[in-house]
Amino acid sequence: MTEQEQPQIYLISPPQPDEGFGETLASILDARPIACFRLALAENDEDLVLRAADALREICHARDVPIVIERHTLLVERLGLDGVHLPDASVKLRDLRKDLGEDAIIGAFCGTTRHTGMTAAEAGADYVSFGPVSAGVLGDGNIAPLDLFEWWSEMIEVPVVAEGGITVEMVEKLAPITDFLAVGGEIWRQDDPLKALADLLAPLGGAAV
């Protein structure tokens, strides 16, 4: 696999990080090149979200890793974050771009449909994500097929992210046709997340970025 085929790694937080998560995140960012970190908390308690974002922003920015927050668009500027990830691509992206400015990262999850991705890209998304890429017990059973990523990579300039159900097999298949692999629950459920990430990305070899 050539260097040009290497996707970058996009790390997603667990929905409920434990007290030691900051140290775990720092160890991963120190060990491997990570392109972006998404704070994706299930918690809606404002104080908890603010504290987590403050602490993890410092860890990310100290290592020149951009941090985006899921859903909470009003916290981007307030907390000095780099942008927002929208789990619903139907949000008015053009208005959000005006509010956050051109430098903010705005990403949109677009499920499994090409049309949704194209609409988000045309509205100004910096990246679109499709997924899940493999079947699981949750969700409606729909998956984002490989030919969606292949078509997007060939036809659309806006970067594409694969997320949800990333496996070693899917890493190998997606590597040549996606810009980013988003990894989260796949490693946080393991006793050693750093080793789990290394094992998951083994098909990329030592040049994984």
| pLDDT score for 208 | 45
State residue 138's pLDDT score.
56
Q: pLDDT tens-digit profile of 31-49?
A: 999 999 999 999 888 899 9
Q: Which CATH number fits domain 3-207: 3.20.20.70, 3.40.50.620, 3.40.190.10, 3.40.50.300?
A: 3.20.20.70
Cis geometry, peptide bond prior to residue 87 (ω within 30 degrees of 0): no
| The predicted structure's pLDDT at residue 139 | 63
pLDDT score at 141:
78
Neighbours of 176 (CB within 10 A): 15
CA distance 56 to 67: 8
Contact 168, 134 (CB under 8 A): no
Model pLDDT, residue 89: 86
- How high is the pLDDT of residue 5? 66
Residues of the chain with pLDDT under 50: 1-4, 137, 207-209
**Is 179 in a helix, a strand, or coil?**
coil
Residue 15 exposure: Cα atoms within 13 Å on the Cβ side: 5
Number of neighbouring beta carbons within 10 Å of residue 139: 14
Q: Tens of pLDDT along 87-129? A: 988 889 999 999 999 999 999 999 999 999 999 999 999 999 9
pLDDT in the model for residue 209 = 40
What does the pLDDT read at residue 2? 35
Residue 120's Cβ-side half-sphere holds a number of Cα atoms within 13 Å equal to: 28
